[in-house]
């Protein structure tokens, strides 16, 4: 818990110094970036004060204030945003093949044909989202350049995770676009109408023969515009939402590429109806065409798809393999160049980040996190360079942050099971078995009035904790007594306990000693 707080605080104060350095003059951005501190204070804000007083050139001394030292003491980062997940790099080393592959398939959209659907998969942090966004930006800018109607819609299905919401979001995007396009045409026509009043000749250059014809057209466009209504985020029957999307897309000729990122989350949560509906649209659309790019961290999700959906979605498959340590090194070097001050990194830092992240299934996100966190830790140490040891500390910190997050969001029953294991470990019990966990678990449930699950269910919850990497459970054979599990904690005990106790109900358990004692009574 404390760790999580520390982290956020670190970020805020880092943000202050960070941006100030980022662009020499930077006063404007600086003012924005410190908003957590300046919130609601209007002109009393000390930062504002400093900025307003800031001299045009180097007559500084007079105005040195609260934040000046923080600003000047920025020896590590040049532009930290570059290391954050939200930053989209312009260059993606070691993804040339995948990017070219995508482009080769999607280029048909620029020729007015329907590109094959694409399924992209690979583990987290292998550059899928970054590459897909890069390609879609290129596609859209090229389509603008050559004036071919091609549009890309990106949806993150981890956030938008039901059929209703996916369709509603798509519908609303096209409703908005259509309305804006109609508005532009109406404006144009009204100008002509106005000018034609003085000079009827003007109509000769148009498809209209009279002002009244033009007026009728404006009316019909206005009606059309009214027919495109926003879909509310809940409440309509799904087929009405689908029809809205359908009509909005088909309003004019265009090729639409729908990018469904984290598509496995959508299927897991809401089944494959969305994909089924989207993939059969082309047979009914008259003017437009739709093509789908699905991005998944997990290929297994295709097992849950209707075979028709599966073969349609997987017309083309592109795999993003994990990065190896050398590739991660290249990626980090390119980013570090922009993110850090010259000479801020000692030689071992990048190779070590790359090596750690390579162990973590070649995850570039992890590698970047490590590098950024190492930099922040060095900053807090008040040194002007990042060293190997900062990377090791960063690795530990990220691991603890991860555990804290996983444990914090566990369902309550799992928390009780985990708490039981912790209590046993604290008591110095080794090779904890399921029965022992269950006995303590039952008593904890009694104490806080929670439902008591069967031992079978508790065994399942232990397996889940094992899969999350929180405990380690090995099955051992006890000869004719059957088999049992030997369980041990695989995360730091104290931090984990702190997180569990921060749950208000578990925090109510005051004296846990008697429960643990129970183990020896049974």
Which of Mg ion, ligand ADP, none is residue 485 near (CB under 5 to 8 Å by kind)?
none
Dihedrals phi, psi of 433, to nearest 5 degrees: -110, 170
Q: In the complex, which residue's CB is closest to ligand ADP?
A: 127
Which positions ≥6 away from 221 have C-beta within 8 Å?
Answer: 182, 185, 186, 189
Alpha-carbon torsion (64, 68, 73, 77), positive or negative: negative
In the complex, minimum distance from the CB of residue 158 to Mg ion, in angstroms, rounded to a whole number: 9
Which of Mg ion, ligand ADP, none is residue 336 near (CB under 5 to 8 Å by kind)?
none
In the complex, minimum distance from the CB of residue 217 to ligand ADP, in angstroms, rounded to a whole number: 47
Piece of 127-135, 233-241, 341-349, 467-475 that binds Mg ion (CB under 5 A): 127-135
Which residues of the chain form contacts with ligand ADP (CB under 6 A)? 85, 89, 92-95, 122, 124-130, 331, 364-365, 368
CB atoms within 10 A of CB 186: 17
Which of Mg ion, ligand ADP, none is residue 357 near (CB under 5 to 8 Å by kind)?
none
In the complex, minimum distance from the CB of residue 363 to Mg ion, in angstroms, rounded to a whole number: 11
Q: Which of residues 212-271 bind Mg ion (CB under 5 A)?
A: none
296 binding Mg ion? (CB under 5 A): no
Q: Which long-range contacts (CB under 8 A, 24 or more apart) does 112-116 make?
A: 112/148, 112/255, 113/255, 113/289, 114/255, 114/282, 114/289, 114/290, 114/291, 115/255, 115/257, 115/291, 116/291, 116/315, 116/316
In the complex, minimum distance from the CB of residue 94 to ligand ADP, in angstroms, rounded to a whole number: 5
Using an 8 Å Cβ cutoff, are 23 and 29 in contact?
yes
Give burial (CB, 10 Å; 0-12/13-18/19+) of 79: middle
Which of ligand ADP, Mg ion, none is residue 375 near (CB under 5 to 8 Å by kind)?
none
In the complex, minimum distance from the CB of residue 92 to ligand ADP, in angstroms, rounded to a whole number: 4
Q: What token pair was written down for 182?
A: 């109609």
Piece of 128-136, 308-316, 326-334, 436-444 that binds Mg ion (CB under 5 A): 128-136
Distances, alpha carbon 464 to alpha carbons 467, 493, 506, in Å:
5, 18, 20
The DSSP element (H or E) to which 311 belongs, if any, is helix 307-313
Using an 8 Å Cβ cutoff, are 406 and 382 in contact?
no
Q: Considering beta carbons, is residue 401 or 460 the nearer one to ligand ADP?
A: 401
In the complex, minimum distance from the CB of residue 59 to ligand ADP, in angstroms, rounded to a whole number: 41
What order of strands is seen across the sheet that includes strand 483-489? Answer: 432-433, 483-489, 471-477
277 binding Mg ion? (CB under 5 A): no
Q: Considering beta carbons, is residue 129 or 279 the nearer one to Mg ion?
A: 129
Q: How many helices (H) and strands (E) does the chain have?
A: 23, 8
Which of ligand ADP, Mg ion, none is residue 424 near (CB under 5 to 8 Å by kind)?
none
In the complex, minimum distance from the CB of residue 323 to ligand ADP, in angstroms, rounded to a whole number: 7
312 binding Mg ion? (CB under 5 A): no
Q: What token pair was written down for 25?
A: 């003059």
Coil/strand/helix, residue 225: helix
98 binding Mg ion? (CB under 5 A): no
In the complex, minimum distance from the CB of residue 128 to Mg ion, in angstroms, rounded to a whole number: 5
Q: Considering beta carbons, is residue 246 or 320 the nearer one to Mg ion?
A: 320
Distance, CA of 275 to CA of 295 (rounded, Å): 13
Which of ligand ADP, Mg ion, none is residue 26 near (CB under 5 to 8 Å by kind)?
none
Which of ligand ADP, Mg ion, none is residue 89 near (CB under 5 to 8 Å by kind)?
ligand ADP
In the complex, minimum distance from the CB of residue 267 to ligand ADP, in angstroms, rounded to a whole number: 17
129 binding Mg ion? (CB under 5 A): yes
Distance, CA of 101 to CA of 122 (rounded, Å): 15
484 binding Mg ion? (CB under 5 A): no
Which of ligand ADP, Mg ion, none is residue 127 near (CB under 5 to 8 Å by kind)?
ligand ADP
Q: Considering beta carbons, is residue 97 or 194 the nearer one to ligand ADP?
A: 97
Q: Considering beta carbons, is residue 73 or 85 the nearer one to ligand ADP?
A: 85
Which of ligand ADP, Mg ion, none is residue 15 near (CB under 5 to 8 Å by kind)?
none
Q: Considering beta carbons, is residue 129 or 302 the nearer one to ligand ADP?
A: 129
Distance, CA of 496 to CA of 399 (rounded, Å): 12
In the complex, minimum distance from the CB of residue 220 to Mg ion, in angstroms, rounded to a whole number: 44
> How are beta strands 150-156 and 254-261 bridged, if at all?
parallel
Q: Considering beta carbons, is residue 365 or 380 the nearer one to Mg ion?
A: 365
Residues pairing with 386 in the sheet: 345
What order of strands is seen across the sheet that includes strand 316-319? Answer: 150-156, 254-261, 288-296, 118-121, 316-319
Q: What does the binding site for Mg ion look like in residue numbers (CB under 5 A)?
A: 129
């Amino acid at each position: 818990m404390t760790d999580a707080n520390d982290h956020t605080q670190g970020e805020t104060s880092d943000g202050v110094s960070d941006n100030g350095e980022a662009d020499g003059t930077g006063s404007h951005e600086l003012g924005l970036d410190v908003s957590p501190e300046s919130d609601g204070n209007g002109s009393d804000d000390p930062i504002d004060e400093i900025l307003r007083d800031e001299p045009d050139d180097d007559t500084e001394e007079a105005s040195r204030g609260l934040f000046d030292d923080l600003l000047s003491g920025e020896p590590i980062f040049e532009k930290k945003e570059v290391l954050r997940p939200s930053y989209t790099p312009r260059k993606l080393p070691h993804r040339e093949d995948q990017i070219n592959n995508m482009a080769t398939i999607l280029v048909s959209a620029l020729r007015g044909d329907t590109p094959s659907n694409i399924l992209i998969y690979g583990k987290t942090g292998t550059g899928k989202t970054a590459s897909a966004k890069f390609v879609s930006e290129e596609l859209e800018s090229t389509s603008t350049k050559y004036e071919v109607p091609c549009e890309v819609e990106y949806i993150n299905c981890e956030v938008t995770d039901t059929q209703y919401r996916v369709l509603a979001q798509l519908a609303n995007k096209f409703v908005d676009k259509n309305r804006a396009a109609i508005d532009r045409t109406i404006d144009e026509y009204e100008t002509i109408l106005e000018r034609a009043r003085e000079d009827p000749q003007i109509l000769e250059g148009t498809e209209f023969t009279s002002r009244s014809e033009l007026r009728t057209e404006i009316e019909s466009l206005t009606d059309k515009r009214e027919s495109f209504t926003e879909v509310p985020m809940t409440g309509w029957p799904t087929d009405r939402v689908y029809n809205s999307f359908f009509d909005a897309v088909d309003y004019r000729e265009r090729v639409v590429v729908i990018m469904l990122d984290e598509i496995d989350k959508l299927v897991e949560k809401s089944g494959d109806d969305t994909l089924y509906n989207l993939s059969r649209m082309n047979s009914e659309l008259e003017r437009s065409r739709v093509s789908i790019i699905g991005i998944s961290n997990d290929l297994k999700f295709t097992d849950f798809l209707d075979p028709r959906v599966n073969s349609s979605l997987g017309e083309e498959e592109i795999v993003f393999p994990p990065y190896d340590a050398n590739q991660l090194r290249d990626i980090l070097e390119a980013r570090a160049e922009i993110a850090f001050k010259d000479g801020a990194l000692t030689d071992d830092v990048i190779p070590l980040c790359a090596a750690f992240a390579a162990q973590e299934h070649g995850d570039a996100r992890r590698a970047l996190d490590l590098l950024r966190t190492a930099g922040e830790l060095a900053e807090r140490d008040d040194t002007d360079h990042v060293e190997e040891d900062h990377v090791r500390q960063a690795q530990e910190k990220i691991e603890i942050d991860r555990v804290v997050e996983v444990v914090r969001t566990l369902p309550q029953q799992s928390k009780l099971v985990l708490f039981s294991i912790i209590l046993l470990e604290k008591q110095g019990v080794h090779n904890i078995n399921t029965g022992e966990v269950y006995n303590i678990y039952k008593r904890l449930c009694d104490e806080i009035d929670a439902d008591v699950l069967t031992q079978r269910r508790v065994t399942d919850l232990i397996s889940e904790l094992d899969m999350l990497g929180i405990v380690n459970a090995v099955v051992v054979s006890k000869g004719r007594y059957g088999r049992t599990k030997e369980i041990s904690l695989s995360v730091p005990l104290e931090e984990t306990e702190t997180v569990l106790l921060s749950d208000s109900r578990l925090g109510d358990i005051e004296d846990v000693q008697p429960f643990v004692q129970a183990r020896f009574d049974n």
